[in-house]
Amino acid sequence: MGLIPRRIIIGAGLCVVAFALVGIRLVDVTLMQGGVAASVSGRVIAARADLTDRNGELLARDLPVKDLYARPRVLWDKAQAARDLARVTGADMRRLDNGFNTARHPYVLVARQLTPDQQDSVMHLGLPGLEFEPSAKRYYPDGRTAAQLLGVTDADNNGVSGLELGLNEKLHSQAGSQVATSIDKRVQYILAHETESARQMFTARAAGGVVMDVNSGEIIAMISVPDFDPNQRRLGAGDSTRNVMAQDVYELGSVFKIFSFALGFEDKTMHLDEVFPIGQGFRIGKYTIHEAEHMPATLQARDILAQSSNIGTSQIALRSGGVRQRAFLQKIGLLGPIRSELPEMARPLYPRANWGAIETATVGFGQGISVSPLSFVAAAASMVNGGRRITPTFLKQAPGADNRKEQVIRPDTSEQMRDLLRYVVTNGTGRKADIPGYDVGGKTGSAQVPGPNGRYIPHALRTSFISIFPVHKPRYILFVLLDQPHGTKETGGFALAGYTAAPLAGKVISRIAPLLGVPNTAPPVKLARGNS
């Protein structure tokens, strides 16, 4: 055989060996590495659409990451490999060590959702038998700002809370595109900043706020603090995943009085100039209702709301009676859970077996009934938007959308409520929310906090403020809440809503109203002319 044919045969043999090695590797990759997703983890990572705010700004997006698996049988030193991999990935070393020595499957999961930097650190270890599986991690560019509202996804990229859960199917079906929420990032940031600042100033346990369009039902912003970092997937000290605006129910106190007045207007059982006796206490059977602050001997009906009189409101509520009151609260949606795209919700607590005179009186001024703030906001919007029921939505609606539904109070009742709420801000406990030019209407609420034994905790308050702007042509409703705030030197030691929640609402409105296109109608300032 000649030299050239021999070389051809040798070359062909080398090619066969090379192709055989490539084939073995392809089998390893397709059957073994591919089996990481199909048979080892059994996981299918589903893509999700971006979540954006109403202006197209990014709220949540999938980022490409890698899951790391190891083949224990090819590791030189399993114990050392467990230590090194734990160090660079954050995995539990004991879990890895145990898995490497007892694994019944060719692959052991080391860590999920590794960042590119972590992947580089793993590669620098130079360990054999490591395989990276493509995966995805949900990223939230604004971090804590909308944590409870947006929620989070699990390792398989399925929503487990917040809008990620509530819109889970929609986000999967529209993968590769965008789902626009009703949220305005600018308003969300301002509400978050001012609410957290107030919580710290008054050392409150928790706080929250909601901004809603009273005609479309769109939630423009929702905040709950304490919050958490959704990008960390673990809670730090003082963090909370609970959305107090949707998941918790509270006795909201005097903000609830707006419903007693609306019912009074509906039933025509009182008029605003009517004078009611107040005195030192209002007795119903064996119970006596008292005022939170000193009140004059008599008050006109409008001042009962403006000065937040429990005794006066009780008398107004009793004129309609318990049966009528219960039916009215049911009609406006306060005796059932509120339903929206947000999966977190709470059932209200109220007198179910006995709704007598004392229950009618206490419910009338906001005690003895507990509702979620989101439910309250929706019902309050119906009082001012012309009297039509509205359902909150977290999805962007068409410009100028009107999603008001059935009439729950007469339009003239709604007009009277708007006038009265403006009076509360100009002449009552809501003065610190009166922002010149924005025609704010509102109501304060300072509720006692029930304790674990069923009795109210001494000196503990839950303060809130409901505000509408502009009140005579309402577009937005804002509700803020502070859980057990404390008075400061600047407030003279007072922690009532007029000193805590009302100024918080005023600060928020002064910043968000211009962004929302609400015109400032304040008269121009006239400069005094100096002597020439």
User: How many angstroms separate the CA atoms of 44 and 135, rounded?
Assistant: 9
- Residue 261 has which token pair? 């007045």
User: How many angstroms separate the CA atoms of 417 and 11, rounded?
Assistant: 94
Around Cβ 406, how many Cβ atoms within 10 Å? 9
Q: Closest by alpha carbon to 447, among 262, 299, 304, 308?
A: 308
> Contact, 289 vs 341, CB < 8 A?
no
Q: Which of 41, 135, 216, 254 is catalytic?
A: 254
- Strands 50-52 and 178-180 turn out to be parallel
> Contact, 501 vs 429, CB < 8 A?
no
HSE, CB side, 13 Å, CA atoms: give it for residue 202: 33
Q: Closest by alpha carbon to 208, among 243, 255, 238?
A: 243
- Residue 365 has which token pair? 């001024």
HSE, CB side, 13 Å, CA atoms: give it for residue 162: 25
Look up 240 and say whether it is catalytic: no
Can you name the residues that pair with 388 across neighbouring β-strands? Answer: 407
User: How many angstroms separate the CA atoms of 82 and 79, rounded?
Assistant: 5
Can you name the residues that pair with 105 across neighbouring β-strands? Answer: none
User: How many angstroms separate the CA atoms of 442 and 508, rounded?
Assistant: 14
User: How many angstroms separate the CA atoms of 463 and 447, rounded?
Assistant: 6
Catalytic (active-site) positions: 254
